[in-house]
Amino acid sequence: MFDLTQEGLAKDLGVTRQTILAIEKGKYDPSLELAFKMAKRFQTTVDELFIYEDK
Amino acid sequence: MKKNSYYIICGILAVLLVVLFYLFIMICQPLLIIPVVILSVILCFVLKRRIPDCEMDERQVLIDMKTASATLKAGAALLLIGNLPIVIYAFSVPPMIMPMPRFHPPQVVPLGILGQIAIFELILLAAVVLLYAGIHIYYTHKYGGDIADEE
């Protein structure tokens, strides 16, 4: 849909590819700023992009 | 400058420092090592800033912060445990110190109590550095740092 690579997304958001991977795998919770940037990049909202789970 | 070149230069600097350390022992100039180490640290710092692909994002900052905090706590405990016996020894009145029977290997240069403490402190410092590396690896793994994944 967005035709994005992890490398490209990382570059757009100003983070490393490892960070994108870690978020995808659920190993790292992004900061609010990064979450909003991601939501903006995917033209959606933060609560649509992320689901809160009790650990 | 590439990241690999930076690491190679750091390695060469480390070897050079060991050589200089030995040289200063030979010429009996202990204070010369201080400016040499300070210059090396400054050189490493300046060179690191010249690496264009040295990215630090929020995840790496978090890993560094957590590592620093954990190392500080563990290092403080280690230094306390390591140094308390020395403090007790320093403040002990002579009759309380019991002579310990042990072998004394022949020494080329007699090592005074100050030298022994310095070597002990260096060993503790090396332990703290190893601790830092271990904790860093732990947090990097915890926050998914070494995930090898295909696109």
With b for 16 or more beta-carbon neighbours within 10 A and e for fewer, the A9-44 pattern comes to bbeebebbbbbbbbbeeebbbbeeebbebbbeeeee
Which of B59, B139, B149 to mutate to probe the A interface, most A CBs <10 Å? B59
Angle A7-A8-A10 from CA coordinates, rounded to 5°: 65
Interface of B with A (CB under 8 A): 55, 57-60, 62, 142-145, 147, 149, 151
CA atoms within 13 A on the CB side of B111: 11
Tens of pLDDT along A23-42?
998 889 999 999 999 999 99
| Residue pLDDT, tens place only, B93-139 | 665 555 666 666 655 556 677 777 888 888 888 999 999 999 999 99
Record the pTM.
Answer: 0.69
Rounded to the nearest angstrom, the minimum Cα separation between A18 and chain B is 6
Kindly list the residues from chain B whose CB atom is less than 8 angstroms away from the CB atom of residue A7. Answer: 151
Whether the complex's predicted ipTM surpasses the cut of 0.85: no
> What φ, ψ does residue B106 adopt, rounded to 5°?
-65, 135
Closest residue in B to A19 (Cα) is: B59
